[in-house]
Amino acid sequence: MVPESKITPKISIIIACYNDIDVVVAVKSAYHQTYPNKEIIVVDDGSNQQTQTAIQSVREFIDVVITQNNQGQSIARNNGIKKATGKYILNLDSDDYFEPEFCDKAVKKFQQHSDTKIVTCYARRFSKSGEIDIFSPLGGYLQNFLFSNSALGSSMFKKADWETCGGYEENLPILGFEDWEFYLNVLKTGGVAHVLPEVLFNYQVRENSTSAKIKYFKQDKFKHIILKHSELYKENFEGMVTNLFDRVKTEEIEKNRNEKSIDFRLGSAILRPFRFIKSLRLK
């Protein structure tokens, strides 16, 4: 019998892409993973001709290309995973990339710890202007995921767990939070998210990205997740109440800080005569 440490089960790397020529970097990142047994699946989610040309330029590195009308990230990922033949799944957004050793180290973590459900790592956040910071996700058990996502959106998990929980939700309102909601589903039956304490992922921050748009709808999305998983949050009612009040307190502190800022006071002073004139017109 071959020792488990010597087994190299297949990894399916899913790259969902919509109008992004940086997909070339993502594909090359997947191809240059040092882990030998892998397949690369690109889901073209209704991209423009420029992006289609970019995908074709790295076609030799790709095992499967799925072309569909634009349906959003969750559906694109689910469709890619349906075609996957690997034991492990790694999602990779088209504008991000992994360091070559990530897959090797992630699979070892699965093989060393039987309760592993998710493997993530530290991330370097960058923009076209350069490095922004290093982000260290918390990882851990379900409790760490109840009120925020504690793993990167691009993390490794088992296809069997994806099948068990029904994949990514395709009807989450507006945009985003699909990763967080998916991890809740994966971890609520047990298991842990391990964090590799190394910078093995590079995350590009863009002004018009999904992550940038999410911040305007955070509360609506959090409400949707709580209502969908109501039994889970009832079991953790005290923690939920504490978290909600902490959120309100944080927003109040931020509001007060903004109102005391020089820019806010200067703006108020400039607008004061206009408001006075408006009030006279309304009388």
Query: Which three-class secondary structure string do you get for the chain?
Result: CCCHHHCCCCEEEEEEECCCCCHHHHHHHHHCCCCCCEEEEEEEECCCHHHHHHHHHCHHHCCEEEEECCCCHHHHHHHHHHHCCCCEEEECCCCCEECCCHHHHHHHHHHHCCCEEEEEEEEEEEECCEEEEEECCCCECHHHHCCCCCCCCCCEEEHHHHHHCCCCCCCCCCCCCHHHHHHHHHHCCCCEEEEEEEEEEEEECCCCCHHHHHHHHHHHHHHHHHHHCHHHHHHCHHHHHHHHHHHHHHHHHHHHHHHHCHHHHHHHHHHHHHHHHHHHHHC
173 plus 248 within the same structural domain: no
CA 23 centroid distance within chain: 16
pLDDT at position 4: 46
> Residue 255 domain-assigned?
yes
248 plus 112 within the same structural domain: no
Other C-beta atoms closer than 10 Å to the C-beta of 59 total 10
Query: pLDDT higher for 167 or 222?
Result: 167
pLDDT at position 259: 62
143 plus 53 within the same structural domain: yes
What average pLDDT does the segment 109-127 reach? 96
Q: What is the mean pLDDT of the chain?
A: 86
> Residue 229 domain-assigned?
no
Q: Would the pLDDT of 277 be above 70?
A: no
Of 92, 106, 208, residue with least CA distance to 84: 92
Domain at 87, CATH number: 3.90.550.10
What average pLDDT does the segment 80-106 reach? 97
pLDDT at position 271: 58
Q: Would the pLDDT of 212 be above 60?
A: no
pLDDT at position 240: 74
In this prediction, residue 173 has a pLDDT band, given cuts at 50, 70 and 90, of low
202 plus 244 within the same structural domain: no
Q: Which structural domain, as residue segments, surrounds residue 78?
A: 4-206
In this prediction, residue 281 has a pLDDT band, given cuts at 50, 70 and 90, of low
Q: Would the pLDDT of 51 be above 80?
A: yes
Q: pLDDT for 192-206, tens place per residue?
A: 999 999 999 999 997
pTM confidence score: 0.82
**Two tokens at 227?**
């209502």
pLDDT at position 118: 98
pLDDT at position 213: 47
171 plus 49 within the same structural domain: yes
Rounded-to-integer distance, Cα 93 and Cα 22, Å? 10
Name the β-bridge partners of 88: 11, 158
What is the total count of domains within the chain?
A: 2
Q: Would the pLDDT of 2 be above 50?
A: no
